[in-house]
Structure 1
């Protein structure tokens, strides 16, 4: 990863994110944070590293964020800004097909419709409000990352909404590689350092209106990171700051670690991914009991 202290005027015009939407008080109190990160160029098989301007969500965790209600930012203004968001790079349809990531024009209508249906059911349960959702596998190799990423992509279909996927699988993080993004810092770096700028861990994904926070470079003692007060503040802030952003969290399986159970207590909902034909009903039921029944949405069969 390479840091830059400057951004060209073209970069400023072309990089607009939700953090550009703020009330006048916040506008006066904060100065714009800038930076850059390195990603992989995908066009024509080019594997060279290309600098992309960083999306300025650095004001996400200003102190006022913790006191904001769900409707603190004018939804009409946000919707207008979201419709103008651009991407430093775009994954092509071939890129998305290769990675098995859904998109509105995908020829795999069955897969697209399944995730759209799942999205609709969750929205009905939430009353249309945004939320934080933990997605975890019932066992290792369940495919929770596949489900989490595609569900986040489905929420980003709506041009008036955005989605954020957070990779909390500290043991085997995969979201960044699925999206062909090179990172050198992420969530654990932010949690470990009170002075760390959140703009350094927010990455465009190449998918319109979808952002990613990778796991981070420090991956020991995952439970200590997730039980920290700063993690609780972080979850509350990303949930409240933007009423039109849906947050999906990918975690290690409940069989491998307690991380999913810990994170589920901080979030609005939890979901279990079960590999088709690989677990007994009793084992699935035992995995489901790991979650608070008041927040548990159910199980998704993957396969």
Structure 2
């Protein structure tokens, strides 16, 4: 799941770094230090994208916090293989302090899992306590990345999009329905979310020549290229 960490020289890892660079250039005039990552529907790769982007940002010395705001079907703790006994929900109800629930993953990367699944996720995320917490986190970290449920499924992503500087919409190539993607954009537009870009996920590397050219350009011989294509999870690449 964390290919930027586990296979840093892969084309997919380079794609995440390109995404990181694009965000940095996008924020040249406006400081995009809080970014929400969502999708139109389930299983499009939003959590994987958010997690790898967090790792990529931390690589350049930025202090990064990734928050699992999917309080219904959390998964960030699985990506980073950390405990989810306590997290965001426990913080918001005053059961725990930030220092008690945040987990340091690397020198620059911190993980805040979802915590106990609450009965009222939308209300909890819309609370003044959540707004205050994000403002505080923004002052302590260079980047805050927020993983949310899909836009169409529930209102959580819409609610949180009003509290952040930018939104990334992840779309699974060949899986996402065009009508669903358009609907997701409409819902985000309704709350005046700042959609800074779209990530095309699950693009098949064998469907075009550009990835093969990447391998060739950087000096990989044909036999090694075939072996890499065979063994790596290239189908999960970001385009």
**TM band (smaller chain):** 0.7 to 0.9
Structure 1 length as normaliser, TM-score?
0.62
CA drift at 1:104: 8.9
Paired position in structure 2 for 1:297: 196
CA drift at 1:138: 1.2
Map residues 1-303 of structure 1 onto 2, 5 A cutoff: 99-103=1-5, 106-108=8-10, 110-127=11-28, 129=31, 131-159=33-61, 161-193=62-94, 196-205=96-105, 207-242=106-141, 245-292=142-189, 295-303=194-202
CA drift at 1:260: 0.5
CA shift in 2, pair 1:144/1:294, >3 Å: closer
What RMSD, in angstroms, separates the aligned Cα atoms of the two structures?
1.8
Structure 1 stretches lacking a partner, 5+ long:
1-98
Structure 2 stretches lacking a partner, 5+ long:
203-239
Cα pair 2:3 2:13 within 8 Å, conserved: no
TM superposition outliers: structure 1 runs of 4+ over 3 Å: none
**Which has a greater percent of helix?**
2
Number of residue-to-residue matches in the alignment: 199
Cα pair 2:167 2:193 within 8 Å, conserved: no
How far does the alpha carbon of each residue in 1:130-154 deviate from its partner, in whole angstroms, 9 at most, with x for none? 5111101210111100000011111
Cα pair 2:158 2:188 within 8 Å, conserved: yes
CA drift at 1:103: 3.0
CA drift at 1:177: 1.5
Structure 2 length as normaliser, TM-score?
0.78
